[in-house]
Amino acid sequence: MKKLQWFMAISIAFSVFACQQTVDQQSATEKIIEKPSITLTNDRITPEVLWAFGRVSDVKVSPDATTLLYGVTYYSIEDNKGNRELYTINVDGSGLKRITTSVKSEFNAIWRPDGKKIGFISSESGTPQLWEVNPDGSGKQQITNVEDGITGFQYSPDQTKILYSKELPKKNQFEDLYKDLPLATGKLNNDLMYRHWDSWVESISHIFIADYNGKEIANDKDILDGEPYDSPTKPFGGMEEVAWSPDSKTIAYTCKKKTGKDFTLSTNSDIYLYNIETGETTNITEGMMGYDMAPTFSPDGKYLAWESMERDGYESDQNRLFLIDLQTNEKIYATQSLDLDVRDYVWSNDSESIYFICDVQGTHQIYHYQLTNNSIRRITEGLHDIKTIAIAGDVLIGQKQSMALPTELFAFDIQTGEERQITFTNKELLDQLTMGKTEGRWMTTHDGQQMLTWIIYPPHFDSTKKYPALLYCKGGPQGPLSQDFHYRWNFQIMAAHDYIIVAPSRRGVSGFGQAWQEQISGDYHGKSMQDYLTAIDIMAKEPFVDKERLGAVGASAGGHAVFYLAGNHQGRFKAFIAHDGIFNKETQYLETEEMWFVNWDMGGPFWDFNNETAQSTFKHSPHHYVQNWDTPILIIHGEHDYRVVYTQGMAAFNAAVLRGVPAEFLFFPDEHHFVLKPQNAILWQRTFFNWLDKWLK
């Protein structure tokens, strides 16, 4: 199951965020990773080509609005690691310059408020510390020397202070038992939320403020004053959850002030204001029961905006844009008239407008909110995902991608949405490739609803031929199915193997209104499964689709869908692939670490026999249909996946073998819910297509 929608606002996409994690963790070898050289044997994407693309991320606009700062990650398949370097380019696309060259990745790169320095975090000295360089890359200097390093930072607007985040050891209440056992590895717990996604919870994240004189920091102070809570929030929160007021006197931060079982049952995070002069903390979202996060002050300091969900326990509730008048404390629900999720936002320089992103009908577009008259208008159109936005004078700067284009930087006219490409990081490689056509088709579902389905055709598609087709089952289960250029579940590489891809925006997909998205909760086996079958049945009637060579593939909630379809497909499919999917919902209910998710989406515990929703959920668990399995299935899982534990995949594989069904189990002992290491990812791709080609060609 993929994290909720708000997670996409944390970085340009979760796949990019995950790749940056891998870069930092695997930069132990003292070798600079440069742009790889690759010779193409034809014009189609291969796994090696995917890993040759430079991955653009995290653009920041200079204070004078003339220059863009961003990072590009390149990977070495041979060294099984990557490295991220920093670049600058003028807003008009001229003056491209690489400003760092090191064996350690640079991240959290931002302009100092005066524009004379660029700050970033690097582990060059052994632990992650704040460094600065001149805008031309010269004068590199280490600024912090914080014990065990820092995880993020921001300059105060007046440039006299720095706030930074760091990990603090979580107090071990059983430490007396360990005092003479330095080699003991046992982890003793007596409460929940002891691990999260891919790691055990052994530390907490706190925000510190320190004086800054342009050369070093001093007088560090923990603004959470030792509280046992995370800020930024775990596991994905970063500096977007923290903000300085324009007068440098207040820090807004996101925190969920709960621990243990209370934490794992609730999604209720809040926005707090910390007064630097008095040390007082105020909760400005008290009584707002869902996620509240990503605060940003208006440039004039009169307002604070943030992203908010209404209901506690529902991680995929509508993500709304809220404001508060800091003088009157009046709250404004800015996007009340818009039945879509807010993904990212930025204030206008005059504090009268907010530009934000929504995923709408399988794309991500820019919208404009006018505070003075409470109006909203859409700015951009097109078959693309705009992942982040920033303001540079009279244009918006966005990180844009599509199914056929890795992320690049674009400028968008604020009034018309007209776009202009700024960076061309992968042009040389893209010019040698032929991409398949992407087409959106509206289909009528079994209950008379209209559903958008993406069809991706092979390069050099010939309508007189018959092609095998793959039904793509989306993860989530909520969230967008849009124009993401994924580095594993990449539609273009599937199409390049001469498969037609059928990707329906089934019940649960965002961008089609909250009612459509909510219809999957408590009903994984009903409408959404019928939506999948509707899409593949309609496409199977096309003369260029071979209905005798259909496959179904998916990860996370998509892996669950594959397991379910394996027992309920009435002979439609000839091959299945399930990655990190739920096989047994009863065990999943107690194995996952975020109880709010299973309580909402499964309806509650399996032992609540008076709960009709929960009982229906567990009755229709995929493992109850394994007696019907008769179709070859490939199962993939990572040992460090704590979201959907790897024994789910193991149990499904064992069941298939015992049933006499042809099966393979690709197990990664060093991966989690995502496959991030280059060589593992290439093994994943090779295994994926070997399996499909064996049974569908």
Instruction: For 315-366, write each residue's pLDDT tens digit.
Output: 999 999 999 999 999 999 999 999 999 999 999 999 999 999 999 999 999 9
pLDDT, one tens digit per residue, over 563-603 is 999 999 999 999 999 999 999 999 999 999 899 999 999 99
Contacts of 594 (CB under 8 A, 6+ apart): 196, 264, 315, 643
Q: Contact, 119 vs 144, CB < 8 A?
A: no
Contacts of 106 (CB under 8 A, 6+ apart): 71, 84, 85, 86, 100, 120, 121, 122, 131
65: pLDDT strictly greater than 50: yes
Model pLDDT, residue 19 = 41
Q: Where are the alpha helices (DSSP H) in 103-252?
A: 175-178
The pLDDT of 309-313, averaged and rounded, is 98
Residue 480 lies in a domain: yes
Residue 556 annotated in active site: yes
How many structural domains comprise the chain? 1
93: pLDDT strictly greater than 90: yes
Model pLDDT, residue 17 = 39
Dist. CA 668–CA 417, nearest whole Å: 44
Give the three-class secondary structure for 648: helix
* Structural domain boundaries, residue 560: 436-696
Peptide bond just before 678 cis, omega within 30 deg:
no
pLDDT, one tens digit per residue, over 66-76 is 999 999 999 99
Name the active-site residue from 122, 165, 556, 621.
Answer: 556
Residue 92 lies in a domain: no
427: pLDDT strictly greater than 50: yes
Taking CA atoms, 293 is separated from 57, 273, 343, 520, in Å, by 21, 12, 12, 25
Model pLDDT, residue 20 = 43
641: pLDDT strictly greater than 50: yes
Give the three-class secondary structure for 30: coil
Better-predicted residue by pLDDT, 40 or 7: 40
Q: Contact, 347 vs 298, CB < 8 A?
A: yes
5: pLDDT strictly greater than 80: no
Place of tokens 């199962």: 635
Dist. CA 154–CA 159, nearest whole Å: 10
pLDDT, one tens digit per residue, over 496-538 is 999 999 999 999 999 999 999 999 999 999 999 999 999 999 9
Model pLDDT, residue 31 = 76
Residue 554 lies in a domain: yes
Residue 62 annotated in active site: no
pLDDT band at 34 (very low <50, low <70, confident <90, very high): confident
Place of tokens 């284009």: 405
Dist. CA 525–CA 541, nearest whole Å: 24
Nearest to 208 by CA among 228, 232, 178: 232
pLDDT, one tens digit per residue, over 16-32 is 334 444 444 444 446 78
Domain CATH number, residue 494: 3.40.50.1820
DSSP characters over 499-556: -EEEEE--TTBSSS-HHHHHTTTT-TTTHHHHHHHHHHHHHHTSTTEEEEEEEEEEET
> Which DSSP letter does residue 273 get?
E
Residue 105 lies in a domain: no
CA atoms within a 13 Å half-sphere pointing along the CA-CB vector of 145: 6
pLDDT, one tens digit per residue, over 43-62 is 999 999 999 999 999 999 99
The pLDDT of 689-694, averaged and rounded, is 98
pLDDT band at 176 (very low <50, low <70, confident <90, very high): very high
Model pLDDT, residue 32 = 83
pLDDT band at 36 (very low <50, low <70, confident <90, very high): confident
Model pLDDT, residue 620 = 98
Residue 136 annotated in active site: no
Model pLDDT, residue 22 = 42
Nearest to 209 by CA among 282, 292, 150: 150
pLDDT, one tens digit per residue, over 124-169 is 999 999 999 999 999 999 999 999 999 999 999 999 999 999 999 9
Residue 668 lies in a domain: yes
> Residues of 630-660 as b/e, b for ≥16 C-beta within 10 angstroms?
ebbbbbbbbeebbbbbbbbbebbbebbeeee
Model pLDDT, residue 25 = 44
Q: Contact, 95 vs 89, CB < 8 A?
A: yes
424: pLDDT strictly greater than 50: yes
Residue 467 lies in a domain: yes
Residue 644 lies in a domain: yes
Model pLDDT, residue 37 = 84
Q: What percent of the chain has pLDDT over 70?
A: 96
pLDDT, one tens digit per residue, over 186-207 is 999 999 999 999 999 999 999 9
pLDDT, one tens digit per residue, over 248-263 is 999 999 999 999 999 9
Model pLDDT, residue 12 = 34
The pLDDT of 370-396, averaged and rounded, is 97
> Residues of 94-110 as b/e, b for ≥16 C-beta within 10 angstroms?
eeeeebbebebbbbbbb
8: pLDDT strictly greater than 80: no
182: pLDDT strictly greater than 60: yes
The pLDDT of 295-314, averaged and rounded, is 98
pLDDT, one tens digit per residue, over 542-566 is 999 999 999 999 999 999 999 999 9
Model pLDDT, residue 30 = 65
pLDDT band at 241 (very low <50, low <70, confident <90, very high): very high
